[in-house]
Structure 1
Amino acid sequence: MASAPKRRRVRKSHQQANSTMQPNQTDDISQLVETCMAAAMPIVQETVRQCILNSRQNDTSQEAATSEPGISTLVDITSADSAVQGPVPQNGQDTHGGPTRTPASLMTTADYLISKSLSEESRSSYKNIFLTYKQFLQDHMDKAANPLVPKLSHLVSYIAHCFTQGLAASTARTHISALSFIFQLGGHQDLTQHFIIKKQLQGYSKTKPSQDARLPITSTILSKIILSLPHVTNSSFIKCLLHAMYVLAFSAFLRVGEITKTGKLNQHFLLVKHINITASPNQENSIHLTIPHCKHSIRPISLQISRNLENPLLCPVRALQYFMQIRKHASQDEALFSFMDGNPVSRQFFTQNLNNSLTFCGLDTKQYQSHSFRIGAATAAADLGASGIQIQNMGRWKSTAFKKYIRVPVLTL
């Protein structure tokens, strides 16, 4: 009994000690918790937000990819960078109205057809342009901006950025054209056709007109280049090879990638099977040329090239016949313009030898380049009275871009 009071006193003393210490400890803990929460909360919020956005984007991408045509092409160009949305419902109505959905097999076919609307070069170009546009938005506008959701302020600023970076007006138009394709493929409003954008590009062109310093290789210059070959190479085979390449490039409006091996992954240079030299009823041979792939089209295009009876030196039939007799290709699948070991002529080899001939003739290699054959062909056709449609068809242009290739000579008084 005597110890009970003592225990109560000890308990009371212990409670008093706790009561005197607890407020300070509670304040310290509360303050520590508040500090930690204040530091961690933004990270937690951002993490949760990103998880929700990623989940919605994946759901939207998967749903759109299985229900909307063209989405697979859009995903390929944009690398599924951001939310891929299907076409926006018009007038508040569901674009998938009706009790059934389009069969998956037909949608796959639709995707395939849309993907074939672009050549490999255009697809690669669109990818690069999209990445450039995305990087611009992140660096100059808003890091969280969705490049697949067009905004007028973004496009206006991007065009201004292209101008300050010194891009040619034609290059800026190419960028806007690519973005237009991407936006429309995603079902968004094509803001590139907005009045403000059109006027901005118009002012861009007037302020910084595109200047192509390349000059045409005319028939006169072509003759000089061919006559220079014995002075720039000691090989009879190389002389014959370059003679045929130069004349055919001029006569058929050929691009350098159509006669040489370039650094691109997909090569489309001419093969032996693409050439057929036939005899016409009057016994005058001509070349039937099939170009398997063009810059703006994946469909083969056939050309008929006649003899040049006025100038045998510039006759494509004669030059090509002579070259093929010497080359003696072993297979129809060999590169038409190739060395004796079968290796195709590279662009570097072609350009270097062309520069050697141009230098020998006293011509500026900065003004006369491999594309000057194509420019010269268009200019020569115009001089001969060919119509715009004829020149466009012969050069395989899809638009009126051929007009830039026709160079009107300047009269010096």
Structure 2
Amino acid sequence: MTNPRIATFYLIPKIHKDITDPPGRSIVAELPSHIKDTTAALNRLEGLTLDDNYLIVTADVESLYTSIQHSDGFMTVSQALRSSNLAKDLCKVLLWEEWVRELGNISTDQDRLVALLYWLGDAWEAGFSLAKVNRFVSALAFGFKLRGFRDVSKEFLVGQALKGLRRGRVEADCRWPVSFALLVSLGVSLVSVCRSSSEVELFQLAFSLAFFGALRIGELVSPSTKQAGGLKLEEVGLYGDRLEVWLRRSKTDQMGKGKSIVLFSHPGSAMCPVACMRAFKPHVGSPELPLLRHEDGSFLSRYQFGAVFKKCLAAVGVAAGPYSSHSFRIGAATEAGRWGLDDEGVRRIGRWESNRFRSYVRPHLL
């Protein structure tokens, strides 16, 4: 299971059995099913030949979900999560009741506040990442509301504790850079990952711009397939052997003064930004629309960029864990340093205004 999700559980009242106090039919929706509905079953059975000695049998479990004792259900789920490597964070959340039982009788909002503060202290000593702590607190806030409790995770003391965790634990950025060689391999792998030649050209251009332009993901693509963002069509121009990009706003340019980026041709490379731009055929539309769009006109989103990036890494036999969309920007700085550019040259490539760029040069990870 690579993308687990929580299903929707609801009941359909069976008023034909009891109009005043109808029993409920349990439904678990949004989970994959082998047979979707009656029509799907009939389609699969069509043309099926059965011998005379075959016996067709159906089976049903009466009141399956409502018959499970809560204590038995919690214990079974707890044991399953303890032995699972897929749900360690979720396990900690679902075992909140077990945690508070260790502290004694927890029955009031004040008790739950104290228990949460104790847990934050334990999380600090255990070395939990800030992301893990935040996920736990968010899930716990939902659990409080679900049970009708006051959300003590919003209390001042909890906020101060979380602020202390953020200040006291500066986590190292361990993301790996995309090297030039890996970039080329990613471009080749797109042929097997994407469904059409237009999608190959779209992602080749996106990966090439991300690397050679040292672009942040938000500067390059849209937040979603329907919400426009990133580079606009009018902000990218092809002039002979160079590609000019106008970056209207960035993390270090919140006033929107803009910055011109010039990318030159890399003859012989399939991931040359100039060659990728020539091969890509932007769809006709307003110059205000994003440059990177699919054939159906929808925008290339952050999620799609990351998802295809991971598929390409898998296709070339590289573990996706240490990489993120920011790895292209890190790779640009790393390769620039490896090619002999001085500090000022690397700084200009990534448009850094501080010495932060030095932590992005990571040749030991190539």
Cα separation, 2, equivalents of 1:223 and 1:265: 30
Letter in structure 2 aligned against 1:289: V
Residue 349 (str. 1) matches residue 366 (str. 2): no
Gap regions ≥5 residues in structure 2: 1-151
TM-fit CA distance, 1:276: 1.1
The 3 A distance-change label for structure 1 pair 332 and 267 is closer
Letter in structure 1 aligned against 2:157: H
Alignment of 1:123-162 (within 5 A): 139-140=156-157, 162=163
| TM-score, reference length from structure 1 | 0.47
Q: Give SS of 2:261's match.
A: strand
Letter in structure 2 aligned against 1:212: D
TM-fit CA distance, 1:266: 8.9
TM-fit CA distance, 1:356: 0.7
Q: CA RMSD in A?
A: 2.8
Q: Give SS of 1:327's match.
A: coil
Alignment check: 8 A CA contact 2:228 2:299 kept: no
Q: Give SS of 1:237's match.
A: helix
Q: 1:277 is matched with which residue? A: 238
Cα separation, 2, equivalents of 1:213 and 1:270: 28
Q: 1:250 is matched with which residue? A: 211
Cα separation, 1, equivalents of 2:163 and 2:233: 43
TM-fit CA distance, 1:341: 3.1
Gap regions ≥5 residues in structure 1: 1-134, 142-156, 173-203, 280-284
Residue-by-residue CA offset, 1:169-192 (whole Å, 9 max, x unaligned): xxx3xxxxxxxxxxxxxxxxxxxx
Letter in structure 2 aligned against 1:321: R
The 3 A distance-change label for structure 1 pair 162 and 265 is farther
Q: 2:243 is matched with which residue? A: 287
TM-fit CA distance, 1:408: 3.0
Q: 2:35 is matched with which residue? A: none
Q: 1:398 is matched with which residue? A: 353
Cα separation, 2, equivalents of 1:275 and 1:139: 48
The 3 A distance-change label for structure 1 pair 391 and 329 is farther
TM-fit CA distance, 1:136: 10
TM-fit CA distance, 1:365: 1.6
Higher Rg: 1
Q: Give SS of 1:277's match.
A: strand
Residue 217 (str. 1) matches residue 178 (str. 2): yes
Q: Give SS of 2:243's match.
A: strand
Residue-by-residue CA offset, 1:171-228 (whole Å, 9 max, x unaligned): x3xxxxxxxxxxxxxxxxxxxxxxxxxxxxxxx5xxx553222100001111111111
Residue-by-residue CA offset, 1:64-85 (whole Å, 9 max, x unaligned): xxxxxxxxxxxxxxxxxxxxxx
Cα separation, 2, equivalents of 1:358 and 1:240: 17
Q: 1:102 is matched with which residue? A: none
Cα separation, 1, equivalents of 2:359 and 2:301: 27
Letter in structure 2 aligned against 1:245: A
TM-fit CA distance, 1:329: 2.8
The 3 A distance-change label for structure 1 pair 404 and 328 is same
TM-fit CA distance, 1:161: 5.6
Q: 1:319 is matched with which residue? A: 276
TM-fit CA distance, 1:334: 2.0
Aligned residues: 213
Alignment check: 8 A CA contact 1:335 1:343 kept: no
| TM-score, reference length from structure 2 | 0.53
The 3 A distance-change label for structure 1 pair 398 and 268 is farther
